[in-house]
Amino acid sequence: MKKILSILAVVLLSYKISGQYVYTYTNILNNEIYDIESIKNAKSITYYGLDFSLVKFIKPQSANEDKELRKYLGAWLEFYQKEIPPKDYLFRWLKFDKYYFNASSVQVRIDSVPKEWVGITALEATMEDVTKTIQGYNLGKDNGIGFVIHPVEFNNIDEEAKCFFTFFDIPTRKVLWISETKGRVGGWGITQWYGLGMIDCTKHYIDYIYKRNIRK
């Protein structure tokens, strides 16, 4: 029985919301990998913002548009922070007693986006990719729980964005809970197009994943 539980440690669930699918990786069997109770019991959280180091831009015949599209990385970050300020929205939605926003340890990784980030087909980032990235963080802090958002795909073919939302133990960089959502893009211009896609991902995460598992 234990062997079966180990094999089935990760279960992929999906919800259909207003014609869109929201996916979340939820471990319901192996507590060594996922520890939702630690998140529920935590009094404070450190938010590390958006990490674009795994993002892929998918668009037919655009593999040579790296320089043209790279300038939007900063614009997407600024648009997201303007529309969802941590103190006004994100922290209120997460409902912890104390919040810390560290914008200097992870978000500077925007410069580490590789040259091959633009492609004509989808090269999906995985939960393991996100976990390895977090393990490599130099955070300058040795206690508490961290929270980070990884935009991993801007898909111009399917007109959607994909993001991972991850809680982790800061001292060990051990992932406590990781979820993935997809959101529809919209607005005018490339900045709004995928900026709104990330916002849609975030709202789906809060309303249909976080509130159902952590805090209503």
Question: Tens digits of per-residue pLDDT, 30-59?
Answer: 223 478 889 999 999 999 999 998 988 877
pLDDT at 134 over 60: yes
| Residue 63 banded pLDDT, cuts 50, 70, 90 | low
What end-to-end distance do the CA atoms of the chain give, in Å? 34
**Which pLDDT belongs to residue 64?**
59
pLDDT at 5 over 90: no
Q: Percent of the chain scored above 70 by pLDDT? A: 79
Q: Which residues pair with 108 in a beta bridge?
A: none
- Per 3-state DSSP, the chain is made up of helix, strand and coil in percentages (nearest 5) of 40, 30, 35
pLDDT at 14 over 60: no
Residues 6 or more apart whose CB falls under 8 angstroms from that of 165 comprise: 147, 148, 149, 150, 178, 179, 180, 181, 202, 205, 209, 210
Dump strand ranges (E) for the chain. 11-17, 20-26, 44-50, 56-58, 98-101, 118-119, 145-155, 160-169, 174-184
Mean of per-residue pLDDT scores for the chain: 77
Question: What dihedral angle (degrees, nearest 10) is formed by the CA atoms of 74, 75, 77, 83?
Answer: 160
**Which pLDDT belongs to residue 32?**
35
**Which pLDDT belongs to residue 39?**
92
Mean pLDDT computed over 78-96: 87
Handedness of CA 45, 136, 165, 101 (dihedral sign): positive
Domain ranges of the chain: 14-27+35-213
**Which pLDDT belongs to residue 122?**
65
Q: Which residues pair with 47 in a beta bridge?
A: 101, 147
